[in-house]
Amino acid sequence: MRETVAVLAIATTAVAVASVAIGAPQNQRAALKAAVAAPTRTPANVARDGARHPVETLSFFGVQPNDTVVELYPGGGWYTEILAPYLKDKGQLWVAAPEKALGGVQKLIAANNAVYGKVKLANGFDAVPAGSADVVLTFRNVHNWRFGGQDAAQQVFNSAFRMLKPGGTLGVVEHRLPEARDAAAEEKSGYMKTSSVIGFAKKAGFEVLGQSEVNANPKDTADWPGGVWTLPPTLALKDQDRAKYIAIGESDRMTIRFRKPKK
């Protein structure tokens, strides 16, 4: 089975005109399911699968076991725990960020070299060879590049474009700010407008291939007193209205697949 998603118009940010079948064929999904079920994953990370939908998300991005994949700003390695075993035999995983942001993956490598020993660490994006990647992925990071008006987002999107082979995929998951909201909220709330993310990508040279609602959460109104961190898993307000925020769940997220043009 292949996923059917709305195609986004390349010239605008509106959801447009047709549908296209993109994503993983059944045998590829089986390999993704096996990677998600890997016994080496951290139990606390496994507990969040219901909110993050890793099989469906990586399937939508079309990540194949023989791909060269770059994960930008991997954090503690939530997705790295899945991508590393998935790519270990036939593919290659890079994790790319400033050195201070690679500590989580370094710990994984030190703890289990058999699973993570093939992972390549890129201290900054220039360490990833130009035109070498089939897929570049980033999960809930774009807002970090927008904080305080210090907008590094365009630079990162430009770097992703440089890393990719012609025809390669950029997959982005990000907390979603309603389009009617003041864009200034992007600098402090942890949420981003879909139009802003698409704008950065298009300026870098990407085409918009499609958008999935697999990580959507209609209960999230994106106007919480502590920003996105009010919601699980952070629960920044601690015991204040804790049951309310747990019932809402993790944030509403856009899931967008971009493509580097072949020519």
Q: Would the pLDDT of 12 be above 70? A: no
Name the residue range of residue 249's domain: 3-259
What pLDDT does 154 receive?
94
> Which residues fall within 8 angstroms of residue 111, CB to CB, at 6 or more apart?
none
If you average pLDDT over every residue of the chain, what do you get? Answer: 91
Q: 151: pLDDT confidence band, cut at 50, 70 and 90?
A: confident
What pLDDT does 75 receive?
96
Q: Which residue type is seen at 32?
A: L
Distance, CA of 36 to CA of 28 (rounded, Å): 13
Instruction: Pick the range with the lowest mean pLDDT from 11-15, 78-82, 94-98, 222-226.
Output: 11-15
Interval 164-183 mean pLDDT: 97
Tell me the per-residue pLDDT of 126-142, one tens digit each, with 9 for 90 and over: 999 999 999 999 999 99
What pLDDT does 223 receive?
97
Q: Which two tokens stand for residue 151?
A: 């907008």
Distance, CA of 205 to CA of 67 (rounded, Å): 22
Interval 13-27 mean pLDDT: 47
How many separate domains does the chain show?
1
Q: Which residue type is seen at 149?
A: G
Interval 160-181 mean pLDDT: 98
Q: Would the pLDDT of 220 be above 60? A: yes
Interval 243-254 mean pLDDT: 98
Burial of 118 (0-12, 13-18, 19+ CB in 10 A): middle
Distance, CA of 56 to CA of 72 (rounded, Å): 19
Q: 263: pLDDT confidence band, cut at 50, 70 and 90?
A: confident
Q: Would the pLDDT of 149 be above 80? A: no
5 vs 254, more confident: 254
Interval 118-131 mean pLDDT: 96
Which CATH number goes with the domain that contains 81? 3.40.50.150
What pLDDT does 2 receive?
35
pTM (2 decimals)? Answer: 0.91
Q: Would the pLDDT of 18 be above 50? A: no
Q: Would the pLDDT of 147 be above 70? A: yes
Instruction: Pick the range with the lowest mean pLDDT from 5-9, 216-220, 229-233.
Output: 5-9
Q: Would the pLDDT of 37 be above 60? A: yes
Q: Would the pLDDT of 1 be above 60? A: no
Tell me the per-residue pLDDT of 202-219, one tens digit each, with 9 for 90 and over: 999 999 999 999 999 999
Interval 3-31 mean pLDDT: 50
